[in-house]
Amino acid sequence: MPAYKAPLRDLDFVLNELIKVQDIIPTLPGYEDATQDIFASYLEAAAQFCENEIAPLNRSGDEEGCEFNAADHSVKTPAGFKQAYQQFCELGFTGLDCDPAYGGQGMPKTLAFPIMEMQCSANVAWSMYPGLSHGAYAAIHAHGTPEQKDTYLPHLVDGSWTGTMCLTEPHCGTDLGLLKTKAEPNGDGSYSITGTKIFISAGEHDMSDNIIHLVLARLPDAPKDVKGISLFIVPKFHADGSRNPVACGALEHKMGIKANATAVINLDNAKGYLIGEPNKGLSCMFTMMNAARLGCGMQGLGIGEASFQGALTYARERLQMRALAGAKFPEKAADPIIVHPDVRRMLLTQKAYTEAGRALTALLALQLDIEEKHPDADARQDAADLVALLTPVAKAFMTDNGFEAANMGVQVFGGHGFIREWGMEQLVRDCRISQLYEGTNGIQAIDLLGRKVLLDQGAKLRKFSKQIHKFCEANAGNAQLAEFVGPLSKLLKEIGETTMGIGMASMMDKDEAGAAATDFLRLIGHITYAWLWARMAEVAYSKLGGGDDAFYNAKITTARFYYAKLLPEVESLKAKIKTGAKPLMSLQDEHFAF
């Protein structure tokens, strides 16, 4: 597979021309020094690290995998992983957007997110080690006591300790109300934690001195279901260096991300420390889970970009047949396959989904920074509402599209894409998990429609719709944008009608919402991308004649492709939603026979 190159030009476009982070970020308290020059220097350093250090380890890490030693419950990561992680720590990336009070650099998420994308493109399995640690940092920072913060955060920030999230058990995944792991008070403020957790990403490895597990468990006499779950800090080693009885029991044998240690974690009266309030553990863990869901979306984006780069390079070089309209390169034995319409369809689909996904992640990163730092309470609430609404969209729509892009990358390569040495099939395998963990994409769809739309009678969705409406209204007379604004305005009205229809139907039958959820999420994903592509086209038109016309014309052309070839999917989505739950629920269980 061709070497990965960080898309720095497109990142610059999204951050500085589309989202215009420099109009906002330096005005937020604490971010005054986050200038455009600072952004550029960090992004360049991250690009060099990802291109030169972890991208070359991607295929070898997949082939070598992680090695489990049953005798001492240790795990050895693939060759080069530990050294790359140490370099990552030395460069200061583990504490990039962390609190300076604990050794962090205090940079905004609008800088951290693009760097996360680069890591996912270069080596998604490697990226998960620091990624899980950052989630543990965020949970402890948000909910820990001052003593817990002082004990754990400096080590998580400098990367000497890493973190995990331990939710899933053999009998429960999404339905955490069924979990059985127990927490017994010890009388000294600590608890004895006993149970088994599975599918724990980065659960055991040799890359750091300690691993801090955040574990969901039940206190004695806790309420049933999710109302009785508490969250505990369970370190592999205590602060005094003594070993805690928490150990890896096995590694899962997986379809992809083989270089990340997906562990079975056994807790045998391991000492843990309550974080947050008793029986409120799930709300504390959601600090980590929401970040992880955005991280999953970033995996879909990153892998989609990597697949696009590989497919584009191959399509320019691979000679097969002649263009249908006549030879484009008569001096060669055949034309490169990029001349063929179907190959261009796949490349443009990859490009359109990836570039819109990059714009969405920048938008969400900016909202997270505003939510955290803006002095105005209403601005913080508006930002929080937009993040809440679009997090399930980012997780599910971006990973579904990333998986489609990865599959198209294999297709562009033809038979060679099926062969391991090209690296394209690994991207398909690695991307598949992003649609499953941190809540399957079906769960994200239910979360979006049920919790984020219907539960508040569409208040968050209306706020978002107003932003799209204002854009359409402001550009109603813009002849250049008419091809985008017209369809976007029409779709916005239709989504309002569709949402109302689902709400009315679900009042009569709760299954109606469940039946519509997946199609509804994809519908919201499409209008989000369509809005972003219209905005990107607006910026591109304004920049023509400034010396980079090829780049800006490509933006306009890709926007047209999205509207012409991808956005029409909304018609089938609306039609499927209208059919309701009956086609799904009519068949009796016993008739699902074989």
Q: Which residues are catalytic?
A: 438
What is residue 262's three-state secondary structure? strand
Q: Which residues pair with 165 in a beta bridge?
A: 214
φ and ψ of 468, to 5 deg = -65, -40
Instruction: Measure the CA–CA gap between 200 and 251, rounded to whole angstroms.
Output: 9
- Check: CB of residue 472 under 8 Å from CB of residue 485: yes
Token pair listed for 410: 């294999």
429, with CB counted inside 10 A (0-12, 13-18, 19+), is middle
The helix/strand/coil state of 204 is coil
Beta bridge partners of 191: 185, 272
User: Do 356 and 566 meet the contact criterion of CB atoms below 8 Å apart?
Assistant: no
**The dihedral sign for the CA sequence 469, 470, 473, 477:** negative
Residues sharing a CB contact under 8 Å with residue 15, sequence separation 6 or more, in sequence order: 21, 39, 110, 114, 362
Tokens of 110: 């609008």
Which of 315, 363, 364 lies closest to 341, judged by CA?
A: 315
Instruction: Please name the helix (run of DSSP H) or strand (run of DSSP E) that holds residue 510, with its range, or none.
Output: none
Measured CA distances, 121 to 90, 126, 298, 395, 588 (Å): 21, 11, 9, 16, 44
Residue 176, both tokens: 């955490």
Q: Phi/psi at 336 (nearest 5 deg)? A: -65, 145
Measuring CA to CA, which residue among 566, 569, 531 is closest to residue 386? 531
**Tokens at 208, concatenated:** 């750091």
Distance CA 1, CA 509 (A): 50
Structure tokens at 297: 């979306």
Tokens (6 digits) for 211: 């691993």
In 10 A of CB 265, how many CB atoms?
Answer: 27
Instruction: List, in sequence order, the alpha helices (H) in 281-376.
Output: 281-317, 341-373
